[in-house]
Chain A
Amino acid sequence: DGGITQSPKYLFRKEGQNVTLSCEQNLNHDAMYWYRQDPGQGLRLIYYSQIVNDFQKGDIAEGYSVSREKKESFPLTVTSAQKNPTAFYLCASKDANSGNTIYFGEGSWLTVV
Chain B
Amino acid sequence: DAKTTQPPSMDCAEGRAANLPCNHSTISGNEYVYWYRQIHSQGPQYIIHGLKNNETNEMASLIITEDRKSSTLILPHATLRDTAVYYCIVRVAHDSWGKLQFGAGTQVVVTP
Contact = CB atoms under 8 A, between A and B. Distances in A.
Partners in one complex: yes
A79 B9 CA distance: 37
A26 B112 CA distance: 37
A2 interface: no
Contacts of B41: 88, 107, 109
Contact of B98 (A4, A6, A45): A45
A31 interface: yes
A104 B99 contact: no
A43 B43 CA distance: 11
A100 interface: yes
Interface residues of B, number: 20
Contacts of B94: 100
A17 interface: no
Q: Assign chain A's interface to a size class.
A: 20 to 34
Given A99-B93, A101-B34, A42 B102 contact: yes
Given A42-B101, A42-B102, A31 B46 contact: no
Interface of A: 4, 6, 31, 33, 35, 42-43, 45, 48, 50, 58-59, 88, 90, 92, 94, 99-107, 109
Interface of B: 32, 34, 41-46, 49, 93-103
29 contacts: A6-B43, A31-B96, A31-B98, A33-B98, A35-B100, A42-B101, A42-B102, A43-B44, A43-B100, A43-B102, A45-B98, A48-B98, A58-B97, A58-B99, A90-B43, A92-B98, A99-B32, A99-B49, A99-B93, A101-B46, A101-B49, A102-B100, A103-B46, A104-B45, A104-B46, A106-B42, A107-B41, A107-B43, A109-B41
